[in-house]
């Protein structure tokens, strides 16, 4: 493919701070993990410039957001996922098997709309591990539900370490959940912990985290109080 053709197919991805923006991580993985060409634009999530930075994409108002090669702006992670899968049917964004594909969509939809306790009590941060953190009963219930969904996904899995065997959009959607489980040392099963280790050891995730750590925050936005230790 010529450089001109690649340019014509290139997406523009708008993201927030890599260390903290869980939804931005999902959007980035949707493109990065499936080899789709894109340019990254950093939005001032903590600098207070997000509204101005996203104004050209109106009515989109949150990250992640993408601009299609024809200029169409798409917000909301589920909409981005379905748009990319529709535009790249051979890229493997969803599992190939129909039942697995439907199940993956279900997992992503529940992630997009659920687990409020986990998300509110444990905001994603990729800098360190909080030790001695005490999850609420509601957060524990979210973790139990997540483990149920992950175990269910494995019923449809082909060979491979990801939720459905091969990497899919479901893994992109749950990557920040893995970051929360590790970042707050949350109580999960050995199987769930192994999946989190696979996710956080993936080269794409490590590249995202390394880029985020180049920015120093003083004060740190999410000082949870408990002692901390080094990341994986």
Range with lowest mean pLDDT among 82-86, 128-132, 142-146: 128-132
* Interstrand relation of 129-130 and 73-75 (parallel, antiparallel or unpaired): unpaired
Domain that holds residue 53: 3-87
pLDDT band for 4, please (50, 70, 90 cuts). Answer: very low
pLDDT in tens, 194-220: 999 999 999 999 999 999 999 988 888
Of 60, 87, 114, the residue that ends a domain is 87
What pLDDT sits at residue 232? Answer: 72
Q: Are 57 and 64 in contact (CB under 8 A)?
A: no
Q: Are 186 and 122 in contact (CB under 8 A)?
A: yes
Same domain, 145 and 106: yes
**Region label for 12, one of left (φ > 0), alpha (ψ between -120 and 50) or beta (otherwise):** beta
pLDDT band for 8, please (50, 70, 90 cuts). Answer: low
Mean pLDDT over residues 15-33, rounded? Answer: 97
Of 87, 107, 141, the residue that ends a domain is 87
Whether residue 3 is predicted with pLDDT greater than 90 in this model: the reply is no
The residues pairing with 15 across neighbouring beta strands, listed in sequence order, are: 42
Whether residue 2 is predicted with pLDDT greater than 60 in this model: the reply is no
Same domain, 39 and 103: no
Q: Are 180 and 121 in contact (CB under 8 A)?
A: no
What pLDDT sits at residue 1? Answer: 43
Of 58, 87, 116, the residue that ends a domain is 87
Same domain, 108 and 133: yes
What pLDDT sits at residue 7? Answer: 42
What pLDDT sits at residue 206? Answer: 98
pLDDT in tens, 34-88: 999 999 999 988 888 999 999 999 999 999 999 999 999 999 999 999 999 999 9
DSSP 117-171: HHHHHS----S-EE-S----HHHHHHHHHHHHHHHHHHTT--SSSBTBBB--HHH
Q: Are 103 and 153 in contact (CB under 8 A)?
A: yes
Query: What is the rounded distance in angstroms from the CA atom of residue 83 to the CA atom of residue 99?
Result: 20
Is there a domain that residue 224 lies in?
no
Chain center to CA of 199: 10
What pLDDT sits at residue 218? Answer: 81
Same domain, 104 and 206: yes
Torsion over CA: 211, 213, 218, 223 (sign): positive
Query: What is the rounded distance in angstroms from the CA atom of residue 190 to the CA atom of residue 26?
Result: 24
Whether residue 146 is predicted with pLDDT greater than 60 in this model: the reply is yes
Is there a domain that residue 217 lies in?
no
Same domain, 203 and 114: yes
- Output the pTM of the full model: 0.94
Is there a domain that residue 225 lies in?
no
Query: What is the rounded distance in angstroms from the CA atom of residue 123 to the CA atom of residue 227?
Result: 16
CATH number at residue 78: 3.40.30.10
Whether residue 6 is predicted with pLDDT greater than 70 in this model: the reply is no
- How many structural domains is the chain composed of? 2
CATH number at residue 176: 1.20.1050.10
Is there a domain that residue 92 lies in?
no
Residue 4 burial (C-beta neighbours within 10 Å; 0-12, 13-18, 19+): exposed
Is there a domain that residue 219 lies in?
no
pLDDT in tens, 154-201: 999 989 999 999 999 999 999 999 999 999 999 999 999 999 999 999
């Amino acid at each position: 493919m010529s450089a001109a053709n690649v340019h014509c197919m290139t997406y523009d991805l708008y993201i927030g701070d890599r260390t903290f923006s869980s939804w931005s991580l999902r959007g980035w993985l949707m493109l990065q993990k499936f080899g789709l060409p894109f340019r990254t634009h950093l939005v001032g999530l903590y600098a207070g410039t997000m509204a101005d930075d996203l104004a050209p994409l109106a009515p989109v108002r949150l990250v992640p957001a993408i601009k299609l090669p024809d200029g169409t702006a798409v917000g909301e992670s589920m909409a981005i996922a379905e748009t990319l899968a529709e535009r790249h049917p051979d890229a493997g964004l969803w599992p190939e098997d129909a039942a697995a594909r439907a199940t993956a969509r279900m997992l992503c939809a529940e992630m997009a709309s659920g687990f409020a306790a986990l998300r509110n009590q444990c905001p994603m941060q990729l800098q360190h591990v909080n030790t001695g953190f005490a999850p609420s009963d509601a957060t524990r219930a979210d973790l139990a539900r997540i483990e149920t969904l992950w175990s269910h996904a494995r019923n449809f899995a082909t060979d491979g370490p990801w939720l459905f065997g091969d990497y899919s959009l479901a893994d992109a959607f749950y990557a920040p959940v893995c970051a929360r489980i590790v970042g707050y040392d949350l109580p999960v099963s050995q199987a769930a912990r192994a999946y989190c280790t696979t996710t956080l050891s993936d080269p794409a995730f490590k590249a995202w985290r390394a880029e985020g750590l180049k920015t120093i925050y003083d004060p740190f936005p999410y000082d949870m109080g408990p002692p901390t230790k080094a990341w994986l």
